[in-house]
Amino acid sequence: MSTHADSALAHHFESFEQQRTAASLGMWLFLAQELMFFGGLFTCYLIYRSLNSLDFAIASSELDITLGGINTAVLITSSLTMALGVKAAQLAKKNQLIGYLLATILLACCFLVIKYFEYAAKFEHHTVPGQHFEFHVPPDLIEKFELGPERLVQMEKRAEIFFSVYFAMTGLHGLHVLIGIGIAIWLLFPASRGKFNMDYHAPVENFGLYWHFVDLVWIFLFPLLYLLGRNIHA
């Protein structure tokens, strides 16, 4: 029991190994519930997409693929810096860990800034669901799919469902990025005191898992929201 004097091992655990196993298991179960949390939104997407596939494709072609693509790259890079950060924590390399955490925070902020410009453009073009929602099908597509006036009205209305799903999914994802930034900043304090080593690095490792999960969600959001209508003009 002498190890209990060490503050990094909580009193109700027998060993570091038990504590590490518990922390990692708890985090994975938390991610399982996160997956189901996002899963509800993905189900909405799946159902509405399957009911209105053309409407979704046309509405999707309005999204900015360049910004979406850059954001994908930004998040993937932040995942890399985070993975390297976890390794630095394991090896007790204090300065490296701080550097990688700062890089991750910076990239996450970058993601949110780009997201802000995307959202701002939506407000400008009135493609935000609500009273002022307006959506116009591009003329070449009206011709291509031979949309009658009735279908056109229906489509311009149904686009709102697409944008509702878009804002719900990216909004929830953005909220997770924001929370991630908060946790990363909080981790900087113990990291700067050199608290992490091979025995005790669960907070960094678990935040890493969380961050990779946020990246994973975006890996699916990018093709599902941005890319599905890309070939509609072809």
Partner 1 sequence: MSEHGDVHVSPNSTYFGVFFALCVLTVVTAWVAFYDFGPFNDLVALGIAFTKASLVVLFFMHVKYSGRLVKLIVIASLVWLGIMFGLTIIDYVSREAVTPDPAVVPSPYETFEPKSLSGDGDHGGDAAH
Partner 2 sequence: MSAHTDTYDPKVNYLNTDWSIKSWLLTLDHKRIAWLYLVSISGFFVLGGIFALLIRLELLTPQGDLLSPDGYNRVFTQHGVLMIFLFLIPSIPAVLGNFLVPLMCGAIDVAFPRLNLASWYIYTIGGILIVIALITGGVDTGWTFYTPLSSTYANSQVMFVALGVFIAGFSSILTGLNFLVTIHTMRAPGLTWGRLPLFLWGTYATSLINVLGTPVVAITIGLVGAERTLGLGIFDPALGGDPVLFQHLFWFYSHPAVYIMILPAFGVISELISAFSRKRVFGYSFIAASSVGIAVLGFIVWAHHLFTTGMSVYAATVFSALTMLIAVPTAVKMINWTTTMYQGAVKWDTPMLYAVGFLGLFLIGGLTGVMLATLGIDIHVHDTYFVVAHFHYVMVGGAIMGFLGGLHFWWPKMTGRLYPESFSKVSAVLIFVGFNATFFPQFILGYMGMPRRYHAYPEEFQVLNIFSTAGASILGVGYLLPLVYFTWSIVAGKKAPENPWGAMGLEWRIPSPPPTENFVKEPVITDAYDYEHEILKEQIEEIARDEAAAVPSTA
Asked if 31 touches partner 1 (CB under 8 A), the answer is yes
Task: Note every long-range contact of 200-203, with CB atoms under 8 Å and residues 24 or more positions apart, other chains counting.
Answer: 200/8, 200/9, 200/16, 201/86, 201/89, 201/90, 202/19, 202/20, 202/23, 202/24
How far apart are the C-alpha atoms of 232 and 65, rounded to whole Å?
A: 14
x/- letters, 52..91, toward partner 2 (CB under 8 A): x--x------------------------------------
8 binds partner 1 (CB under 8 A): no
Q: Which residue of 3, 29, 194, 219 would you call a contact of partner 2, by CB under 8 A?
A: 29
Of 90, 133, 167, 168, which lies in the binding site for partner 1, with binding defined by CB under 8 A? Answer: 90
141-148 long-range Cβ contacts below 8 angstroms, 24+ apart: 141/58, 141/61, 141/232, 141/233, 145/54
* Member of 3, 51, 69, 113 binding partner 2 (CB under 8 A): 51
Least distance between partner 1 and beta carbon 79 (Å): 6
CA–CA distance, 25 with 206 (Å, rounded to integer): 10
Handedness of CA 153, 156, 159, 161 (dihedral sign): negative
CB of 127 to partner 1, least distance (A): 20
One of 21, 123, 134, 179 touching partner 1 (CB under 8 A): 21
Q: Which stretch binds partner 1 (CB under 8 A): 31-39, 108-116, 164-172, 188-196?
A: 31-39
**Is residue 193 near partner 2 by the rule CB under 8 A?**
no
Q: Please name the residue ranges forming H helices in 125-148.
A: 139-144
When CB distances are held under 5 to 8 angstroms depending on the partner's kind, the choice from partner 2, partner 1, none that residue 91 binds is: partner 1
